[in-house]
């Protein structure tokens, strides 16, 4: 079982989008039974809140349902529980390293690093760019899945 945890600041926009996009991709590939996929936030600001409506609506446009998802905090034990800890931006990466007290097993990466485009996925909460976030998340998730499959 491959376990992936996507991480952003509040766990209401980018990381849930990545979680549900990746779940959709592995289901479409018929390999969803081989994965455990979740998301979390480095901040408690949105703890317990559902996916932010514009993110939810963007996923729904593409036939992806995110209902039932509520924000949760990143926990120290997540480092042991997951194989891949995927941040959406460099601030998430730094916060993950602080929460986990480093990255000795090299589990932490940024999503777009897997696509050969080492850059942040901008936070649509601030930019309003939900379409760009959708495109970046899809690009990163497809590349991450391809990378994981190549490793096996």
Question: Which residues are identified as catalytic?
Answer: 8, 14, 123
Residues facing residue 4 across a β-bridge: 37, 84
Q: Could you give the angle at the alpha carbon of 113 between the alpha carbons of 110 and 118, nearest 5°?
A: 100
Cα gap 52→46, rounded to integer Å? 10
Decide if 21 contacts 64 (C-beta within 8 A): yes
Q: Extract the runs of DSSP E, i.e. beta strands, from the chain.
A: 2-8, 35-41, 84-87, 108-110
Decide if 72 contacts 78 (C-beta within 8 A): no
3-state DSSP assignment of residue 2: strand
3-state DSSP assignment of residue 108: strand
């Amino acid at each position: 079982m491959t376990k992936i945890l996507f991480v952003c600041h509040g766990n209401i926009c980018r990381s849930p989008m990545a979680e549900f996009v990746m779940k959709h991709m592995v289901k479409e590939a018929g390999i969803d039974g081989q994965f455990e996929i979740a998301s979390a936030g480095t901040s408690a600001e949105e703890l317990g809140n559902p996916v932010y409506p514009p993110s939810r609506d963007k996923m729904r446009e593409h036939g992806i349902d995110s209902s039932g998802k509520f924000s949760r905090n990143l926990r120290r034990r997540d480092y042991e529980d997951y194989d891949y800890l995927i941040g959406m931006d460099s601030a998430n990466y730094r916060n993950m390293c602080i929460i986990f007290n480093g990255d000795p097993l090299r589990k932490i990466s940024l999503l777009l690093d897997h696509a050969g485009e080492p850059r942040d996925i901008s936070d649509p909460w601030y930019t309003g760019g939900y379409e760009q976030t959708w495109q970046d998340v899809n690009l990163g998730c497809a590349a991450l899945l391809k990378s994981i499959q190549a490793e096996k």
